[in-house]
A = this chain, B = another copy of it.
Amino acid sequence: MAKRDKLYEGKAKTIFATDNAHQLIQYFKDDATAYNAQKHEVIMGKGVLNNAISYHIMSALGAAGIKHHLIKKIDHREQLIRKCDIIPVEVVVRNIAAGSMVARLAGKHIPIDLGTCLKTPMVEYYLKEDALKDPLITAEHITGFDLASEDELKQMRLTSLAINRILGDLFNGIGITLVDFKLEFGRPSQRQEDDPLLILADEISPDNCRLWDKATGDIKDKDRFRKSMGGLVEAYQDIANRFGITIAAT
Residues on A facing B (Cβ under 8 Å):
88, 104-105, 107-110, 112, 118-120, 122-125, 127-129, 131-132, 135-141, 144-145, 147
Question: With contacts A138-B139, A139-B138, A139-B139 known, is A107 near B122, CB below 8 A?
Answer: no
In contact, A144 and B119 (Cβ under 8 angstroms) = yes
Main secondary structure of the interface of A (DSSP, over half): mixed
Instruction: Count identical subunits in the complex.
Output: 2
CB < 8 Å neighbour of A109 from B119, B125, B147: B147
In contact, A127 and B147 (Cβ under 8 angstroms) = no
Chain B residues near A119 (CB-CB < 8 A) = 144
Which 6 residue pairs across A and B have the least CB separation, nearest first? A88-B109, A110-B145, A104-B135, A107-B129, A138-B138, A107-B132
In contact, B144 and A124 (Cβ under 8 angstroms) = no
In contact, A118 and B144 (Cβ under 8 angstroms) = yes
In angstroms, Cα B120 to Cα A140, docked, is 10
Q: How far is the CB of A113 from chain B (nearest CB, A)?
A: 13
Nearest B residue to A123 via CB reads B140
CB < 8 Å neighbour of A105 from B105, B108, B120, B145: B145
Nearest B residue to A119 via CB reads B144
In contact, B136 and A138 (Cβ under 8 angstroms) = yes
In contact, B141 and A127 (Cβ under 8 angstroms) = no
Q: How far is the CB of A110 from chain B (nearest CB, A)?
A: 5
In contact, A129 and B109 (Cβ under 8 angstroms) = yes
